[in-house]
Structures are given as structure tokens and as C-alpha cells.
Structure 1
Amino acid sequence: MRAALERSWYEQGRGWLALRPLATLFGGVVAARRLFYRRGWLHSEAVGVPVLVVGNITVGGSGKTPLTLALIEKLQQRGLRVGVVSRGYGGQADTYPLDVGPDSDVAAVGDEPLMMALQSGARVVVDPRRPRGAQRLEQQGVEIIIADDGLQHYALRRDAEIAVTDARRGLGNGALLPAGPLREPPSRLDTVDLSLVHGSNADFWLVPGAALSLDGQGRRRELSQFVGTPVHAIAGIGDPRRFFHMLRGLGLDVIEHPMPDHHRYRAQDLDFGDDRPLLMTGKDAVKCRRFANTARCWQVPVRVAFSSDCEARIDALIDRLLAARQVR
């Protein structure tokens, strides 16, 4: 049902039209909520360090997490202690805020926070109440906070906002939930500090690196070495086709296994009845690493490449945030 609905958002079809009355109601709630925060009728909490929000106005994958990792790296290169506050979608814990570390249980903290902690070395805190999570990071001595997927979480006051849109999927049919994929109207993009497009020849794109074995042996294998034989590929991300398309663009013969976003894997999910190589995203690997420790399982890491114009705009935004930090 959900998959069919999402297809109607991004592909030709008219099934979503019956949901327009609900979308109108949702839009009214969204507009009222934002107005209440702007007028101060709902309270936004500030912390003592700059807060950079990275998010989008659509449901599903747009490239937020790789961009967040790239921003962490940029800030760390400037000598800053960086913290990330996240809702931890897909995870469930008894108490919050929850610090995320290499040995954290992905079922408690969520897949994306664990992946960011493992790949960046930044402090990551999960909390459904983002202001409380941000305060925890401030107490730990971070100098700047990135609020992951925080565009609609107005309870945390922010110093700058970056919105990400996927070039291939765009804004879908342009309708608000549930008739379309939009969490907020398209005009919201006009209010952010940077509105970036993710995709080939856009503001930024993803570059795959050598595959990393999950068998604990530290082996690396160039993706070109998988050409010539069929490989399985799993992706439990917002847009699995993006991963499969990337692999096919490198000449791989891909057997697709799309999974729901934030899918909770079991060992049998990786059993396809043969011994062909299995490639997966970093987000999937953090959930499979305890039982995917065989020679056939590989993680495909990616890094962000920026257009020169986009990189200049990001650097200027960071300069502004650091200047604001000095006058706090």
C-alpha cells in the first residue's frame, strides 16, 4: 500500500487525487504550526553554540546523510568539535538523550546516527526532543551542532538551514502529504539559507569508493573487480534505485533487492540461495555487520563531490556561522 502510494507521487498516475482534501488539511496544520513558532506562541529553544539544520521538504531519500557527513568533515578540517543531534528514526530506547558510539545498538539509536558516528568520529546524540539532545552536545563541549533531518523541527532554534532535493525525483507531483511527498510547500525552499540539488551535474553528487568487506579482515576490492559476474545488491534507503543505478553505471550486473527505508534486517534477508557477492550501502551495513561477516558481503562507501559554486556557497555559510559563534 505504502509503496504503491509513493509510486503515485513520483510516477504518472492519478491515484493520489482522492487524497487532496487530506493534503489541504495537512497544509493548514503545517502553516499554522510554523506561524505559531514565528510569532512565539510556540517556543523555540536556543543553545549556546551555532546550529546548522540539514533537511528536506520531501519524504524519503534526498542525500541528506552523505551531505551531513561531508559538512562534518569540512567543519572538522577547521579544527571544530562537531556534534550531531538526530531523532534516531528507526530506533527505540528507554531513556533519552542517548549518546551514540561504535558499540551502540542500532535498534536503540537508529541506522543513520550509528553510521554517522562510525564514519565521522563526531559526537552524535539521539533524542526525539531535539533541544534536549542539542543541550547534551553543548555540555559535552561541541562547538557547532548539525541537526540532522531537522528542517521541520522548529522547537530547536537554528542559525542556518540547508535543504536538499534529489535531482531525479524532484518534488514529485508537488502535492503535500498524503497526496504527495511534500512535508511543507515548495515555497519553503525560498526561506532556507542554501537550497541544494543532489544528482549528476547538480550541486553535489556521490562518488563510490572501493568496497569494504564485512568479514572483519579489512579487505578492500575495487568495484571494477565485480564486473563480469552478477552481484546481489540490497538497499534499505529512501530511494533504493539510486544505489542500483550507481552500480549499473559502473558496469555491474545487478540483481536488485530493494528494502523499506530503515529496514530491520535478519540473517535470512541476505540469503539468496547462492554464493554471489552481495553489495550494500553503509546504512545497511551498520544493521547487518553482526551477521553479515562472510566473505561475500561488501559495503560500498560513498563520498560527496561538490560543484565549485556549491562548495563556495557552503564555505561562505560556514564562515558566517563561525563569525556568529565568536559574538555569542
Structure 2
Amino acid sequence: MSVKQFFLNHWYQSSPGILRLLAPLSWLVGYFAAKRFSSRQLGLVGGVPVIVIGNITVGGTGKTPLIASLIGHFQAKGLRVGVISRGYGGSLSGEEVVKVHRGHSAAEVGDEPLIHFSRGAAVFLCAQRAKAAELAARECDVILADDGLQHYPLIRTVEVCVLDGERKIGNGALLPMGPLREPESRLANCDLVVVNHGDSIQVNCSIGHEAEFTMTVAPGEWRAVNDQSLQSKPNTNVTLISGIGNPDRFEATVKSQNIAWDRHIRFGDHHAYRQTDFIDATSRIVMTEKDAVKAISIAPQSSLYITIKAELGDEFYSQLDALLSQKQQEFS
């Protein structure tokens, strides 16, 4: 068993078990989390609202499809949408702001920024997201901050926390004893909580947020990895290849399409693909969109990826729009 799997097994059970030995480190994480939170500022950036989409747990929770849905929602209202991101894993991620353009690769700017760019958003990268927001505010009507919940130098207007509906908050402990970046009480300060693929989170401190919504992630289109052209759903067994935060969710998506797989080759989140990663595939390859943007030029010609879309009720968007209107008046 790998070290990572060892921690995951203990994080997502009812109690930390042997990880209680790490309690002093978790106490330090809590101390510094509270200290950082005390610097949180609410408001607008250059008169433009900033919606932070983040989580309080480590690992994938479904932020990317939610952001894609929000991009579409605001574009339909005629607004220019900007996305700011750290650009995790990209060689251009640093202290200077980089605006993503068509010539950038995932190796340069990261996987998620390319996905957001493909949806028609203006995407700005910087390790200091506050600097990226200032530049985005000059040409956008609304800014979405990808994974910026704990980035407190960034002024925010609305906070949306996304939780995995199956894993929820795990054993409820802070890192490294548990999966939490911040204590569960942080949910009380978020405006909206979105539970991805599951029932209500049922934690004692969640009553402070405005509303809680459930989200499902549904399969979308099948496309070729190499040129993004539309393809038909495969009718034979496939090989799954992924490097994402929650690979089990990918398997569930493929299974929902009544597709069987020979094996699932798993890499770590934000994996940088090489041609040798595909050698062990025993059948046609299927990837996530997040993986595909990093394998465009090296995946076998027949490789496919499946897009996904977030499904939320109209009430979520109505609540978000109302919050934005209210807070824009308050901060103007």
C-alpha cells in the first residue's frame, strides 16, 4: 500500500485511528488557518465582483465542471467572464500575471486553465491571485477564482464551497490527521455550499451559509484527444487512464455509459503525461478532459475523452445572482 493510499484510507473513515499521533501537526494547521482567515476581505476588485470557487478538503471535489457551468451562465447574460488561477503545474505559473492564449500548452499554464479558456473565458494566471484579479477586472464583468478559498490576499465578493458528496469531510480532522484544509466551521462563512454527487453534508457548523445545493456531474460529448473532434461512444472494452483527484468518480461516469474497461491506469493529480504512459494500454484509451489537454500530441490516435457537465437546479443560479446583486450594492 502506498503512503498516499494509507492516508486516504484513514482520512475517509469514521475516526483518524493511528493518525491521532499527528494531532500536534493538525493543531498547527488549525492555528495558521485561523490566522490567515482573520485577514479575509470582502468586496469588489476594481468594481468587479469576484466569485471564489474552492473547497475545504484536499483532492478533487468537482470545481472544474462547476466553473464551466458558471462560465456558461454568465456568458448567457451577456457578461465578459474572467477566470483567475494559480496555474498549478504549469511552467509559466509564477509571480507575474500570464493571460492564457491559444498557443499555450498544459505544460505551460496547467490543465484546468486550458479547459476554462476553451469555454470562452479570459483566463489569467498568477501565484498571487490578487494580482491576476486586478488585471482581469480591467476587461471582465465578473471574475471566477478557481480554488481560491484559502488564498486570503484575494478580495472576494461571494464564496462557493464545493464538497464531495460521497467523501464529505472524511473523519473531520485537519491535515495531516484528516483531509481538511480548514475546520468544518469554515462552511459557516461561505455564501453557498455545493455538494457534488450526494446528499446533504450534515455537519453541525454548516448552518451559517446562505444555502446548500446538490450537484450532479453528467457525461457530455465524446471527443478525440488529438484534435477534439466529435466521436461516437466506444462499443468495445476500453482502457481508462487518468491523473485526477478522484479517479473513482471517473470510473462511475464511464460505467454510467454502460462501457466496460480492461484496466484503469491511475496517475497522481495533475500528472504530466509522457508517451511511455500509454504503453500498458490493452485497448482503446479513454481519458478525462482534464487529462486529454495534456496528451493532445502524444496519446495514440484512437484515444478518446469524455466531457462532463455540472447539473444544478435553477434555484442555485437564482440564489447566486441575487447574492451578487445584493453584495455589489453593499460594496459599491
TM-score scaled by length of structure 2: 0.88
Q: Does the aligned pair in 2 maintain the 1:205–1:305 contact within 8 Å? A: yes
Shift in CA distance, 203/18, structure 1 to aligned 2, threshold 3 Å:
same
1:65 matched to 2:67? The reply is no
Does residue 1:220 correspond to 2:231, yes or no?
yes
Gaps of at least 5 residues in structure 2 are 200-212
1:258 equivalent to 2:260? Answer: no
Question: Which residues of 2 match residues 139-154 of structure 1 at below 5 A?
Answer: 139=138, 141-154=139-152
Correspondence 1:289 to 2:296? yes
Q: Secondary structure at the match of 1:287?
A: coil
Q: Equivalent residue of 2:163, what SS?
A: strand
Aligned to 1:21: 24
Amino acid aligned to 2:165: A
Structure 1 segment 237-316 matched on structure 2, within 5 A? 237-254=244-261, 255-272=263-280, 274=282, 276-292=283-299, 294-295=301-302, 297-316=303-322
> What is the aligned-residue RMSD (CA, Å)?
2.3
Per the alignment, do residues 50 and 155 of structure 1 end up closer, same or farther by CA in structure 2, a change over 3 Å counting?
Answer: same
Deviates further, 245-254 or 58-67: 245-254
Structure 1 residues 42-61: aligned runs within 5 Å: 46-61=45-60
Question: How big is the shift at 1:15?
Answer: 3.2
Structure 1 pair 320/234, CA: closer, same or farther in 2 (3 Å)?
A: farther
Q: State whether structure 2 residue 111 is matched by structure 1 residue 111.
A: yes
* 1:7-56 residue CA offsets vs partner (Å, 9 max, x unmatched): 32114662322111110111011112222x15x8xx99943311111101
| TM-aligned CA deviation for residue 63 of structure 1 | 0.4
CA contact (8 A) 1:84 1:145 kept: yes
In structure 1, stretches of 5+ residues that fail to align are none
Tell me by how many angstroms 1:216 deviates: 2.6
Query: In the TM superposition, what whole-angstrom CA distance separates every residue of 1:219-247 from its partner, at most 9, and x where no partner exists?
Result: 4113xx43xx3211112111011001221
How many residues were matched structurally?
A: 314
Alignment CA distance shift 1:245-1:29 (3 Å): same
1:111 and 1:82 mapped to 2: Cα distance?
19
> Is 1:168 the counterpart of 2:166 in the alignment?
yes
Q: Establish whether residue 208 from structure 1 lines up as the match of residue 219 from structure 2.
A: yes
**Which digits, 9 at most, give the CA deviation of each residue in 1:252-303, with x for residues without a partner?**
21221221100011011112253x21111110001001112502x0010011
Moved more, 305-314 or 165-174: 305-314
Equivalent in the alignment of 1:155: 153
How far 1:200 moved relative to its partner?
Answer: 5.1
SS at match of 1:210: strand
**Residues in 2 aligned to 1:324 and 1:69: alpha-carbon distance in whole angstroms:** 26
**Structure 1 residue ranges (4+ consecutive) displaced by more than 6 angstroms after TM superposition:** none
* CA distance in 2 between partners of 1:245 and 1:137 (Å): 36
Using the size of structure 1 for normalisation, the TM-score is 0.89
Deviation larger for 160-169 or 264-273: 264-273
Partner of 2:187: 189
| SS of match in other structure, 2:294 | helix
* Whole-angstrom distance in 1 between the partners of 2:46 and 2:147: 18
Residues 95 and 176 of structure 1: is their aligned pair in 2 closer, same or farther, counting only changes over 3 Å?
closer
Structure 1 residue matching 2:137: 3-state secondary structure: helix
Instruction: Give 1:188's aligned amino acid.
Output: R
Q: Which range moved further: 311-320 or 199-208?
A: 311-320
Distance 1:303 1:142 in 2: 24
Alignment-derived partner of residue 9 in structure 1:
11
3-state DSSP of counterpart to 2:10: helix
